[in-house]
Structure 1
Amino acid sequence: MDLIVYHYGVEECKPSHAYGPALRDHFLLHYIISGSLSILLSELTEQSAPGITNGDGHKENYIKKSIQFIETNYSRSMSIESLASYIGLNKNYFSTIFSELLGVPPQEYLIKYRVNKACKLLNNKDLAISDISRSVGYDDPLGFSKIFKQIKGVSPKYYGKTLL
């Protein structure tokens, strides 16, 4: 199993701190350590995500790296600008090559990816729509439901009850 570190930082936690309530297909490691943890995590991050060269002819590499980033971070708040910045490209150029190679703009790809992940979570009848929406990167369950209906043609509640 590979360890891919894609987010780290320092946070002061209060007693009984909890990170949730969302479902994730990845693990959160929460260490309470004093010392040089940030150096360790910085090293892990650099080693787990080899850089992309900025030369011409690497469009496929940029898109592959962006899809990997989406698959890893879809449950977090994400903008196309932050995605382009992660890849090391200008937002407009990134959007152009993404659309050129995949046939859809990056924002549409991200939305559809999140909705498809939500469809899988809807198999679990014990989960509330609000929990599912947070699990796929939407803090607002109503906004999530509207987007879901635009993509699938039915509400998440109806989809979970009748189409599964």
Structure 2
Amino acid sequence: MSNTFFNIFPNENFIDLCMYQFGYEQCDPGHSFGPATRNHYLFHYVLSGTGTLMANNSKGETRTYSVKSGQGFMIFPGQINTYIADEQLPWKYMWIEFDGLRVKEALSVTDLCKDAPVYHSHSKELREKLADEMLYIVNHPQESSFHLIGHLYLFLDYLLQSAKSTKLVSSGRMSDYYIKEAINYIEQNFQNNISIEDIAAVCGINRSYFGKIFRNSIGRSPQEFLMNYRMVKATELLKLTSLSIADVGSAVGYENQLHFSRAFKNIYGVSPREWKNQNK
């Protein structure tokens, strides 16, 4: 490996879990980055050496952490942070920036949060498997996006297993069941004229309570999740088929082409036709 390696992932509109960039660096003594914020989750794993992380907690107060070999740190979306390599023993680390509709829910089973951003594994074996998956991704940027996303899922699985919260109550909480039911219903019926009331009814709970537990678990409202899901499906159809804009809109649950185009532009910043021309 060279001293620094960096690669941007070609975003293929993966919805549940997506990667944005990844890399590796042997830092110079005192090398620093920040203060900065990220739009997505950014995880660093320290292979050797040591350094300091300064990051805002959930109250916006700056906290300082020492992070050494075998540990890691998570930077959360919108969190102000700075990290600095030690002057005598600078760290060598790998990183992956990732996000997705189910990432917040997944990380909720760990102790990792803005108030506790340092990764401590309770299993040497799982920690090594996590590092292996990160190394694989860093060393195989030429592989297909589906191949790399497969390894990102394995990385996330080892992260969740190795950092599982000791304070976690039963994972069979009813709210988890409702969220799974809701997402399954959306995945199977997004092309139909479904409402949030319909989804809540399938779960057997009222809309207000459903909206609250959905946002707490997923990090966005049911409406936002449904619209995002439909728009990702729309980009697949625009890219892979010769369907008209109206037919694509209809296929993802919008009978009115104007409503579809407006919703699409809200998400992607351009009209469906412009997006199609840019992504031929």
Write the distance in 1 (CA, Å) between the matches of 2:233 and 2:277. Answer: 17
Match of residue 96 from structure 1: 212
CA distance in 1, matches of 2:237, 2:205: 33
Q: Partner residue of 2:246?
A: 130
Alignment of 1:71-150 (within 5 A): 71-124=187-240, 126-150=242-266
Partner of 1:64: 180
SS at match of 2:239: coil
Structure 1 runs (4+) deviating above 3 angstroms are none
- If each structure's strand is expressed as a fraction of its own residues, which one has the higher value? 2
Amino acid at match of 1:58: M
Identity across aligned pairs (percent)? Answer: 40
Amino acid paired to 1:141: Q
Distance 1:124 1:140 in 2: 22
Structure 2, unmatched stretches of 5+, are 1-171
Unpaired segments ≥5 residues, structure 1: 1-55
Q: Does 1:151 align with 2:267?
A: yes
SS of the residue corresponding to residue 76 of structure 1 reads coil
SS in structure 2 of the partner of residue 122 of structure 1: helix
Aligned partner of 1:52 in structure 2 is none
Q: Which has the larger radius of gyration?
A: 2
| 2:190 and 2:230 in contact (8 A); partners too | yes
Task: Give the TM-score normalised by the residue count of structure 1.
Answer: 0.64
Give the counterpart letter for 2:189 in structure 1: N
AA in 1 matched with 2:264 = F
Amino acid at match of 1:118: A
Q: Distance in 1 between matches of 2:173 and 2:229?
A: 26
Q: Deviations over 1:78-134 (max 9, x none)?
A: 110111001100100000000000000000100000000000000135210000000
Contact 1:117 1:136 in 2 (8 A): yes
* Bigger RCO of structures 1 and 2 (CA < 8 A, at least 6 apart): 1
- What amino acid maps onto 1:157 in structure 2? R
So what's the TM-score if we normalise by structure 2? 0.38
Q: Distance in 1 between matches of 2:201 and 2:241?
A: 38
Q: How many residues are matched?
A: 109
CA distance in 2, matches of 1:75, 1:64: 19
